Structure 1
Amino acid sequence: MTLPFDAVLCDFDGVLRFHDPVAQARIDETYGLAPGTILKTALSPALMGPASLGLITCEEWEASLVTAFTDVLGSPGRAARLVEEFAAVPSWIDEEARGLLAEARRRVPVVLVTNATTRLEEELERLGMAGFTDAVVSSARVGVAKPDRRVYEIAAERAGAAVERCLFVDDRPENVAAAVALGMTGVVYGGPTDLRAALADFISPAWRNQSR
C-alpha cells in the first residue's frame, strides 16, 4: 500500500504535552490576578518572543517575568514566588497521542516541531520523551518560530521528505495554515480522534480497534 505521507511533523504543547489548568488558575487566584493573567503575560510576544527565538535563555525569560509581575504586585519577592510556582505547574504527556505517533513512526519519520525555550531538551528528558521522535525542531535552537515558513522547511529537511509529502499537526490554526500554504497536509488538532483519522493508513489493526 502506498502511504499518503513520507513524514509526520507534530507540535508538542497542545498535542502531546498538557499543563494542569487547575494549578494555573489557582496561582492567578492566589496572587489576586484575573483568570489567565499569568499565562497571557508569560506568552505575550514581548516576553516570549525573544525566548522562543533563542535570543534569551529560559532563565532570562523567567527573570523578565519577575520584572513584569513586580510592576503588577509591587513586590519583587512575591513576583519571584509567582514565577517559581508557574514554572512548577505539573504537566503530562497524552499517552493516546503518543501511541498513535509511535505507530506512525514504525512507517515514516516523525519530527517534533515546537515553539520552545532553551529548556525544551531538559523537559523532554524529564517527561520521558527524549529520543521519542526522529528529530526535534525547536524554535529556540533554529532561530525561527512557527508560523515562519522556514521552520516547516527545516522540519521537512530533517525528516528527509518533500514538503508536499509531509503531514503537519498543530493545535493552532494559524500554524497549520502556514504549513498548508507551503504545500503540506495540515490537521488542526482538537484531540486524539483527529490524529487517529489523519494517521489511519499508519495504524495497526490493534490500534484501530481500541475504544475512542
Structure 2
Amino acid sequence: MAIADYDIQVVFFDFSGVLAEEGFVQGLKEIGRQHGKEPDAFLREATEICYNNGYADGRVDEHAFWQDVRESAAIATGDADLRREILSRFVIRPWMLQAVSRVRTGATRTALLSDHTNWLDELDAAHGIYRHFDRVFNSFREGMTKRSLDFFRHACDVMQVAPQNALFIDDNPANTGRAESIGMHAVLYTAYPSLVTDLKRYLPAVVLPPEGNVC
C-alpha cells in the first residue's frame, strides 16, 4: 500500500514493553527466582492468575491478586515486597514519550491502550505519562483486556475513529494480531530503530527523536 493511501487519525500505544521496560514480566521472573521457581513457568502462572482472577480488568484489587499468587505458588512474601519487584522495573523510556508527543498533532491523536492495573496510575503520578495522550485505556479501569477483541473495538468507538484509520503499536504479536483482525493497522514493536522505520510508512511527516534520554 502506498503511503498516500493511509489516513491514520489515532495512534494507540501499548505501555509495558513499548513506552517502558517490561516491569511486570521481569519482576515476576525475579520473584520466581527468589522463591526457587522456574522463572518462565512462574511468570506464566502469575499472568494467568492476573487475568483469570479479575485483577487485569478491575474485578478484584491488588491484594486479592497477590493472595492468589501466594496460594498458588506456596510463597509467603507480603504485598509490599512483591509489588516493589514489579514497580521498580517499569523504567520509562523518555524518548518514547517524546515520540508520542511528536505523533500527537492537530491531525493525529494518541491514546494509551494497556492491559494494566492500579500500578499504571501510580506510574503516571510519578512520571506524568498520561499528559502525552488524548485518552488512556487501562484494562483495570475499562473492565476489559486485550485478550478480547471488544477492547479494541471499544477504544476505537470512544476515540470515534474507524479501525482502518487507527494504528496500534504493541510488543505482543497476539495483541497486534487481534487489532489487525478488526481492521486496525498494527506495528509489532521489537526495537526502537525498526519502530522509526515502520512509523514512517504511516506518518511520513513525523520525525521521531533519537533513542536515548532526551526528555
Normalized against structure 1, the TM-score is what?
A: 0.81
Consecutive unaligned residues in structure 1, runs of 5 or more: none
User: Is the alpha carbon distance of 1:60 and 1:126 closer, same or farther for their aligned partners in structure 2, counting shifts above 3 Å?
Assistant: farther
Consecutive unaligned residues in structure 2, runs of 5 or more: none
Whichever of the two has the greater Rg, that structure is 1
Q: Which residue of 2 aligns with 1:10?
A: 13
Structure-to-structure mapping, 1:106-117, within 5 angstroms:
106=105, 107-117=107-117
Q: Which residue of 1 aligns with 2:51?
A: 48
Q: Which residue of 1 aligns with 2:143?
A: 143
CA-atom RMSD in angstroms: 2.8
SS of 1:91 mapped into structure 2? coil
The separation in 1 between residues aligned to 2:199 and 2:168, in whole angstroms, is 11
Number of matched pairs? 203
1:58–1:119 CA contact under 8 A, matched in 2:
no
SS of 1:48 mapped into structure 2? helix
Deviation digits for residues 77-132 of structure 1, max 9, x if unmatched?
x4667625534433211223222221101241101111112332222222321322
1:18–1:93 CA contact under 8 A, matched in 2:
yes
1:127 paired to 2:130: no
Counterpart amino acid of residue 86 in structure 1: E
Structure 1 residue 161: Cα displacement: 1.5
User: Residue 38 of structure 2 is aligned with which of 34, 41, 47?
Assistant: 34
Normalized against structure 2, the TM-score is what?
A: 0.80
Q: Which residue of 2 aligns with 1:97?
A: 96
Deviation digits for residues 142-197 of structure 1, max 9, x if unmatched?
22111312211222223232111001111111111111111111111112123212
User: Is the alpha carbon distance of 1:22 and 1:83 closer, same or farther for their aligned partners in structure 2, counting shifts above 3 Å?
Assistant: closer
Q: Which residue of 1 aligns with 2:173?
A: 173
Structure 1 residue 12: Cα displacement: 0.8
| Worse-superposed segment, 88-97 or 167-176 | 88-97
Q: Which residue of 2 aligns with 1:183?
A: 183
2:16–2:90 CA contact under 8 A, matched in 1:
no
1:192 paired to 2:192: yes
